[in-house]
């Protein structure tokens, strides 16, 4: 079986969820090819097919050449794709653009064409049918929580064409249903943590640091709820509870959040350190006490899994799939979103946990990650995803 995975670019070293999937499928005997727009020459896990470029003064001629090549090499595919695009109501200009943008996939021989993000399938919905392949797509947080807000009905054609959907959480699947996904062909496969890359955690857990080290990893975007976290921390400071909050990530909200830090008198307690390599993120986790993910919504959040596996007490919101990630009062704490007073109250309780309760939470969290969110289980699930003949129903 040959699977083609469509991404915007080849996965970087830190994107373990894509790299692990590719490596695992290959180990299990499946053939995998990547179809990307940007290629890293150092990527060598599998065959990589790059989309043709169409920039500069020759963009029109390059696009036209893709159309001519497809017509000559695969006349049947050309005819089928054109027919399907016209049925979808696309103009000739958009149709010709789509032939060019999808040329590297329109010439492939595949059993499955899998789009790593739902947004990657837009303007490519008819490719799989044109090449006589099954089509699958992964649903992730940005695909369902963010993009449709400014692009209503963006997945109408995708839902009609896709053969099977992979969702990283129950939450995303249910929201996709609200957005129009009505088919029964789907499978929930949760993200996984590569436990071999984490340092082993001793059975003896130490008490929290004298100054509590708080940590969040994520884009500086309104959906991440950083403004509510800062409000909660200002309450903690008013109670003279010592802490240091480190934020790893970059984004458009940096200046506004820095202004909030200034306004709330938190300059000595909050540290923005920008984007960091994956290994360095793990180092921060190993030296922190509490991980906060107070997002308005999350598709699932790998960082919360990694924090649990690294031995951090986790405090998250009830936004999106986070309650699937954390079991309240058992593997961490789930706080209603947009409620800084309640978040401050929960953080204070967690900081003051006795050692026995602290160890109980940390142990259960780590064991749950090891048993439920490991790479071996994930690969088995993906094998089932591509090979199963019967699918679950909503």
Residue 393 belongs to a domain: no
Residue 101 belongs to a domain: yes
- Claim to verify: residue 304 and residue 216 sit in the same structural domain: yes
For residue 230, give the DSSP letter: H
Domain span holding position 262: 195-371
Which of 247, 239, 255, 238 is CA-nearest to residue 213? 247
- Claim to verify: residue 151 and residue 45 sit in the same structural domain: yes
* CA 39 to the chain's CA centroid: 20
pLDDT, tens digit, 9 for 90 and up, residues 304-345: 999 999 999 999 999 999 999 999 999 999 999 999 999 999
- Claim to verify: residue 27 and residue 159 sit in the same structural domain: yes
Q: What gap in Å lies between CA 361 and CA 348, rounded to an integer?
A: 16
Please report which confidence band the pLDDT of residue 197 belongs to, taking 50, 70 and 90 as the band edges.
low
pLDDT, tens digit, 9 for 90 and up, residues 270-303: 999 999 988 899 889 989 999 999 999 999 999 9
pTM score of the predicted model: 0.90
- SS3 string, 141-171, reads HHHHHHHHHHCCCCCHHHHHHCCEEEECCHH
- Claim to verify: residue 159 and residue 250 sit in the same structural domain: no
Which of 321, 295, 325 is CA-nearest to residue 307? 325
Split into its structural domains, the chain has a count of 2
- Claim to verify: residue 211 and residue 359 sit in the same structural domain: yes
pLDDT of residue 206: 53
């Amino acid at each position: 079986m040959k699977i083609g995975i469509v991404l915007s670019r080849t996965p970087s070293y830190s994107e373990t969820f894509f790299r692990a999937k590719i490596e695992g499928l290959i180990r299990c005997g499946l053939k995998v090819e990547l179809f990307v727009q940007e290629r890293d020459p150092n990527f060598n896990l599998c065959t990589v097919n790059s989309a043709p470029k169409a920039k500069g003064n020759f963009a029109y001629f390059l696009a036209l050449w893709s159309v001519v090549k497809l017509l000559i090499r695969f006349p049947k595919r050309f005819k089928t794709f054109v027919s399907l695009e016209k049925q979808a109501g696309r103009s000739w200009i958009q149709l010709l653009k789509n032939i060019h943008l999808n040329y590297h996939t329109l010439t492939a021989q595949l059993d499955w064409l899998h789009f790593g993000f739902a947004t990657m399938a837009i303007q490519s919905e008819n490719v799989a049918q044109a090449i006589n392949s099954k089509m699958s797509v992964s649903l992730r947080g940005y695909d369902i929580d963010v993009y449709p807000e400014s692009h209503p009905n963006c997945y109408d054609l995708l839902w009609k064409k896709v053969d099977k959907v992979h969702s990283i959480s129950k939450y995303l699947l249910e929201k996709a249903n609200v957005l129009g996904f009505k088919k029964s062909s789907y499978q929930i496969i949760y993200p996984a943590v590569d436990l071999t890359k984490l340092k082993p955690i001793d059975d003896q857990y130490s008490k929290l640091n004298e100054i509590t080290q708080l940590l969040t990893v994520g884009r500086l975007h309104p959906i991440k709820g950083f403004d509510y976290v800062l409000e909660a921390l200002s309450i903690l400071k008013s109670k003279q509870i010592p802490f240091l909050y480190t934020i790893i990530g970059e984004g458009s909200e940096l200046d506004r959040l820095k202004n909030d830090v200034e306004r709330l008198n938190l300059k000595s307690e909050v540290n923005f350190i920008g984007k960091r390599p994956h290994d360095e993120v793990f180092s921060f986790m190993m030296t922190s006490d509490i991980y906060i993910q107070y997002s308005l919504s999350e598709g699932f959040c790998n960082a919360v899994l990694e924090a649990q596996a690294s031995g951090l007490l986790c405090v998250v919101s009830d936004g999106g799939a986070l309650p699937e990630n954390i079991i309240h009062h058992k593997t961490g704490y789930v706080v209603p979103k947009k409620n800084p007073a309640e978040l401050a109250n929960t953080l204070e309780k967690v900081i003051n946990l006795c050692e026995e309760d602290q160890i109980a939470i940390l142990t259960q969290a780590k064991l749950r990650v090891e048993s439920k969110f490991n790479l071996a289980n994930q690969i088995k699930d993906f094998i089932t995803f591509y090979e199963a003949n019967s699918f679950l129903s909503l």
